[in-house]
Amino acid sequence: MKLFDVYKTFDITPVKANGVFVYDESGREYLDFYGGHAVISIGHSHPVYVNSITEQLKRIGFYSNAVINPLQSELAIELAKVSDCINYELFLCNSGAEANENALKLASFHTNRKKIIAFKNGFHGRTSAAVAATDNPKIIAPLNDQHAVEHLDFGDIDKLRTALNKGDCCAVIIECIQGIGGLNEADTNFLSELENLCRKNGTVLIADEVQSGYGRTGQFFSFQKHGIKPDIITMAKGMGNGFPIGGLLIHNSIEAKMGMLGTTFGGNHLACAAAIAVLKVMEQEQLMSHVQELSDYFREQLIRFDGIKAIKGRGLMLGLAFDHPIESLRKQLLDKHFIFTGNAKDPHVLRILPPLTIKKEHIDRFIHALAQEL
């Protein structure tokens, strides 16, 4: 049987990974400045993580949500501690799209409305409402097109005010830093006005932190820099360091009702063991302050390149904007220097999403490769 051919792939077959490195079948080492698309948070095959999942598997790997799973409560307690988000409740699922789909559904249940406000250049996943909220007609099937979604310019407060004041929106969904869209960041004025307008009009504010969350920006969630308090926060990628898990933090003003949300696999024992290990390592290794320190160092090294027109993003969620398309540079970094990087919807932006555990020597190696190619 052939695979359903939907991905453009590099001709590389990783068989092993450790820390910030990935190894192919011939033993060649690759420096991972892409983190498997922002997923690897605490580093590949971290021993605490491997041990936690292995030991859990020996005990119990899975049972359904029809029984009590104390690991879910342990994860919720740890999350509140590390994220500093209090007065929220946790719902666990399996991916970023599923987290956003559930968040939008919950907003609709809560408000009894169905219109969604989303932003141009945003990406929220490929399930029905999540993809309808995504600004990319190429990935929206006619079936998904039936959702009531208005896409506004990112940062356009006047259009936002007009749209929300109609009083018919269940949710606004926003990436405070747009990942795939090219690392544009909303400013504090816009975000606090967005929060005020949502409160005034009874609209649920959903922060999509699937990519920007879990310490990637140097704070646990990227919105925390702006002092806002979303009603729902969605997360996934860094949460399981590669183990599929996603989740929603739901403000306790939104009441849970039996059957509102549900999942077979979400919050299973193995996924919780992975996610608890991630938080433990984040705390033990103080990864958020490490990210801030490394990000400052990275920026200092990058400003000397005239070819880089802007360094976008925050922490270790960076976009290097050039005045030319980056695809051949990205290929050279991979083929000649064995460094994985990412691209964006904006073809001029090279995306940097390494494991949060990278060290200065890895940045130096990347800078050396970049200097040769520019």
Closer residue to ligand PLP (CB): 7 or 306: 7
Using CB under 6 A as the binding rule, whether residue 180 contacts ligand PLP is answered as: yes
Please tell me the distance from the alpha carbon of residue 157 to that of residue 165, in angstroms, as a whole number: 12
Q: Please identify, among the stretches 24-32, 96-104, 191-199, 265-273, the one whose residues bind ligand PLP according to the rule CB under 6 A.
A: 96-104
Closer residue to ligand PLP (CB): 95 or 341: 95
Please tell me the distance from the alpha carbon of residue 100 to that of residue 144, in angstroms, as a whole number: 14
Please identify which residue in 92, 152, 171, 236 interacts with ligand PLP, judged by CB under 6 A. 236
Taking residues 120 to 149 in sequence order and writing x for each that binds ligand PLP by CB under 6 A, - otherwise, the string is ---xxx------------------------
Q: By three-state DSSP, how is residue 187 classified?
A: coil
Closer residue to ligand PLP (CB): 100 or 217: 100
Using CB under 6 A as the binding rule, whether residue 179 contacts ligand PLP is answered as: yes
Closer residue to ligand PLP (CB): 180 or 186: 180
CB of 118 to ligand PLP, least distance (A): 11
Using CB under 6 A as the binding rule, whether residue 95 contacts ligand PLP is answered as: yes
Please identify which residue in 32, 135, 185, 208 interacts with ligand PLP, judged by CB under 6 A. 208
Helices 47-59 + 269-284 axis angle, to 10: 150
CB of 181 to ligand PLP, least distance (A): 9
Please tell me the distance from the alpha carbon of residue 155 to that of residue 133, in angstroms, as a whole number: 16
C-alpha gyration radius of the chain:
20
> What backbone torsions phi and psi does residue 353 show, to the nearest 5 degrees?
-140, 60
> Count of residues binding ligand PLP (CB under 6 A)?
14
Please say whether the beta carbons of 245 and 276 come within 8 A.
no
Q: Comparing C-alpha atoms, which of 25, 56, 13, 10 is closest to residue 274?
A: 56
Please tell me the distance from the alpha carbon of residue 219 to that of residue 212, in angstroms, as a whole number: 9
Using CB under 6 A as the binding rule, whether residue 170 contacts ligand PLP is answered as: no
Give start and end residues of each alpha helix (H) in 178-256. 188-201
Closer residue to ligand PLP (CB): 95 or 219: 95
CB of 38 to ligand PLP, least distance (A): 7
CB of 99 to ligand PLP, least distance (A): 7
Q: Sign of dihedral through CA atoms 144, 145, 149, 151?
A: positive
How many other CB atoms sit within 10 Å of the CB of residue 163?
Answer: 19
CB of 213 to ligand PLP, least distance (A): 9
CA contacts within 13 A on the Cβ side of 236: 24
Please identify which residue in 175, 185, 195, 346 interacts with ligand PLP, judged by CB under 6 A. 175
Please tell me the distance from the alpha carbon of residue 246 to that of residue 253, in angstroms, as a whole number: 21
Taking residues 3 to 42 in sequence order and writing x for each that binds ligand PLP by CB under 6 A, - otherwise, the string is ----------------------------------------
CB of 270 to ligand PLP, least distance (A): 17
How do beta strands 115-119 and 149-152 pair?
A: parallel
Helices 70-83 + 269-284 axis angle, to 10: 30
Binding site for ligand PLP (CB under 6 A): 95-97, 100, 123-125, 175, 179-180, 208, 210-211, 236
